């Protein structure tokens, strides 16, 4: 770069863990990056293998927000492409806006490359669908309150009252709160539950199935206490149901602009 120019910061979603689940665009940006700041406590280090020789690579797990933004700003003075590699999607439970604001204040250009969320990867690993016709057509991404408080009206019991698919992030150590919220919302003890630990991580993924009554014990027995997605949904186990309501889009009696009804 010429003197006085600054590079561009790309917030790239690394996906849920499997380095092959990063997007093609994300991989291309890593391949041309001069500097990469990656979330080492969450992102499989294999994702940084796409970076070229000589690339400055820094693990952010021991850094504060201020240290991360300062590092990114400093690297844009030397490199045209700087990548902040984040787990899943940068806009979901990440510090995207907190990091982007100082960049904007410095006049540094930045952009986001979306990534595959662990919610999608967990359901894919388990062979489950988040939605089914006439069962549920809505999905809620949420968490339970821990050190970070929940905004008013977003407590899990209130959200669970909708009886739709719940993908519960960052809450495996608070399973007792998850159970209490679902019970308060009227979910029965035999409601199916799914927990996926390190979804898509090669050699580390664990898929646990149970019910509201026993899922906490199953997690304890499997030693799952971190990096896990909790799913409560009326769609779980549908592969083995005796019958399903058919999707109208593919029903032979349904006409749409690409196909006329054939029956």
Task: State mean pLDDT over 84-90.
Answer: 96
| All structural domains of the chain | 8-113 (3.40.1010.10), 118-240 (3.30.950.10)
SS3 assignment, position 184: helix
Q: Which residues contact 18 (CB under 8 A, 6 or more apart)?
A: 44, 121, 200, 201, 202
User: Within 13 Å of residue 93, how many CA atoms lie on the same side as its CB?
Assistant: 19
Averaged pLDDT score across all residues of the chain? 93
Q: Determine contact, residues 126/238, Cβ cutoff 8 Å.
A: no
Integer Rg of the chain from CA = 21
Q: How far apart are CA 71 and CA 60, in angstroms?
A: 10
Q: Is the pLDDT of residue 157 over 80?
A: yes
Q: Would the pTM of this model clear 0.75, i.e. be above it?
A: yes
Instruction: Note the pLDDT of residue 2.
Output: 60
User: Within 13 Å of residue 171, how many CA atoms lie on the same side as its CB?
Assistant: 27
Instruction: Note the pLDDT of residue 221.
Output: 97
- Reference 33, options 82, 101, 103; nearest CA is 82
Q: How far is CA 219 from CA 56, 57, 222, 225, in A?
A: 39, 35, 5, 7
Strand partners, 111: 10
pLDDT grade for 142, boundaries at 50, 70 and 90: very high
Q: Is the pLDDT of residue 24 over 80?
A: yes
pLDDT per position as a tens digit, 89-117: 999 999 999 999 999 999 999 999 999 99
């Amino acid at each position: 770069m010429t003197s006085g120019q600054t590079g561009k910061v790309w917030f790239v979603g690394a996906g849920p863990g499997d380095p092959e689940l990063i997007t093609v665009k994300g991989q291309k940006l890593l391949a041309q990056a001069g500097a990469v700041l990656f979330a080492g406590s969450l992102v499989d280090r294999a994702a940084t293998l796409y970076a070229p020789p000589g690339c400055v690579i820094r693990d952010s797990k021991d850094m504060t927000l201020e240290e991360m933004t300062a590092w990114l700003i400093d690297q844009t003075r030397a490199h045209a492409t700087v990548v902040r590699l984040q787990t899943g999607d940068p806009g979901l439970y990440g510090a995207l806006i907190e990091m982007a604001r100082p960049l904007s204040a410095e006049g540094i250009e930045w952009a986001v490359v979306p990534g595959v969320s662990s919610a999608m990867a967990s359901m894919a690993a388990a062979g489950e669908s988040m939605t089914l016709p006439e069962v549920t057509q809505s999905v809620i991404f949420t968490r339970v309150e821990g050190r970070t408080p929940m905004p008013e009206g977003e407590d899990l019991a209130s959200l669970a009252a909708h009886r739709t698919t719940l993908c519960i992030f960052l809450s495996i150590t608070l399973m007792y709160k998850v159970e209490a919220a679902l019970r308060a919302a009227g979910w029965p003890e035999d409601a199916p539950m799914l927990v996926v630990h390190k979804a898509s991580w090669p050699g580390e993924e664990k898929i646990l199935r149970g019910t509201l009554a026993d899922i906490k014990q199953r997690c304890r027995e499997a030693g799952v206490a971190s990096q896990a997605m909790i799913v409560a949904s009326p769609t779980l186990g549908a592969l083995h149901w005796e019958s399903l309501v058919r999707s109208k889009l593919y029903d032979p009696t349904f006409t749409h602009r690409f196909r006329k009804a054939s029956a």
